[in-house]
């Protein structure tokens, strides 16, 4: 991997990267402490060679913790590197969201997708990178939904015309975040994923922001 050279990055990005690094190091330290406890327990149980079921469960937790730590580190590396996109023309935002909705594992956000029409909303996008970004934003919205009324969270897609330009506008509503703008708070690994998602959206010429109790993504469309 090509090293990140400070002269190639602007001051704001380096500051954000530093903040993200501190937060994720803190999270990883907590995860490693938990892994140490699991490993200690596993070692003691193995000494007695009893209850293989419990040993398997503990080993599963150990591996899952390592996977989480590796995934968090990967997000940090991605955030610190320039975004590299493989754009394709004719990518329909509605079709992308419908595909994500059908594949949604939690079913909490994208299953409540509201589309304004069957009209195509086509742009020049990297479908893989954009899909991952929208999944991260949806995951953040699910975490910030109303716990007393989780089904109230909706995802809407509308078309916006502005000064001769067209945009696809995706909104998650309602959401409540206690740490300011979730795209720049870096409060935990999920927020860092949202920050990376916002960076990917911006690399497509769009924007990602929190507007009161909404998360809003705007993506430029290329068809007339």
The answer to whether residue 1 is domain-embedded is no
Which positions ≥6 away from 37 have C-beta within 8 Å?
none
- Residue 38 has which token pair? 């699991």
- CA distance linking residue 95 with residue 75, whole number of Å: 26
Label the pairing between strands 154-162 and 113-115: parallel
Task: Say if residue 57 is in the same domain as residue 151.
Answer: no
- CA distance linking residue 140 with residue 197, whole number of Å: 11
The answer to whether residue 174 is domain-embedded is yes
Which positions ≥6 away from 109 have C-beta within 8 Å?
138, 139, 141, 142, 145, 153, 155, 172
Task: Say if residue 70 is in the same domain as residue 100.
Answer: no
For residue 147, give Cα distances in angstroms to 151, 186, 211: 9, 22, 20
**In this structure, what CATH number is given to the domain that contains residue 203?**
3.30.565.10
H/E run at residue 75:
helix 52-80
Count of positions (residues) in the chain: 224
Gyration radius of the chain's alpha carbons: 20
| pTM of the predicted structure, to 2 decimals | 0.73
pLDDT, one tens digit per residue, over 155-190 is 889 888 888 889 999 999 888 887 778 888 777 778
Q: Which of 94-103, 105-114, 159-168, 211-220 has the highest mean pLDDT?
A: 211-220
Answer for the pair 6, 18: CB distance below 8 angstroms, yes or no: no
How many folded domains does the chain comprise?
A: 2
Instruction: Give pLDDT, residue 44.
Output: 73
Task: Say if residue 65 is in the same domain as residue 106.
Answer: no
pLDDT, one tens digit per residue, over 49-77 is 666 667 777 777 877 887 777 777 778 77
- CA distance linking residue 123 with residue 138, whole number of Å: 21
Task: Say if residue 110 is in the same domain as residue 216.
Answer: yes
Burial class (CB in 10 A: 0-12, 13-18, 19+), 200: buried
- What residue numbers bound the domain in which 177 lies? 88-220
Domain end marker among 80, 112, 144: 80
Task: Say if residue 75 is in the same domain as residue 180.
Answer: no
């Amino acid at each position: 991997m090509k090293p990140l050279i400070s002269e190639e990055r602007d001051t704001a990005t380096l500051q954000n990267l530093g903040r993200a690094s501190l937060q994720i190091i803190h999270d990883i330290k907590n995860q490693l402490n938990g892994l140490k406890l699991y490993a200690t327990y596993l070692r003691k149980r193995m000494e007695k060679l009893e209850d293989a079921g419990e040993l398997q469960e503990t080993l599963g937790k150990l591996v899952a913790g390592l996977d989480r730590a590796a995934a968090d580190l990967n997000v940090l590396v991605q955030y610190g590197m320039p975004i590299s996109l493989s754009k394709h023309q004719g990518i329909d935002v509605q079709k992308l969201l419908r595909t994500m909705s059908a594949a949604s594992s939690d079913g909490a956000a994208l299953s409540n997708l509201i589309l304004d029409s069957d009209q195509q909303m086509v742009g020049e996008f990297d479908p893989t990178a954009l899909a991952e970004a929208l999944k991260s934003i949806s995951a953040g919205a699910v975490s910030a939904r109303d716990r007393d009324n989780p089904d109230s969270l909706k995802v809407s897609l509308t078309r916006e015309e502005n000064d001769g330009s067209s945009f696809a506008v995706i909104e998650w509503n309602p959401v409540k975040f206690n740490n300011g703008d979730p795209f720049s708070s870096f409060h935990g690994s999920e927020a860092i994923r949202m920050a990376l998602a916002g960076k990917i959206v911006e690399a497509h010429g769009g924007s990602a922001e929190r507007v009161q109790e909404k998360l809003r993504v705007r993506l430029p469309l290329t068809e007339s």
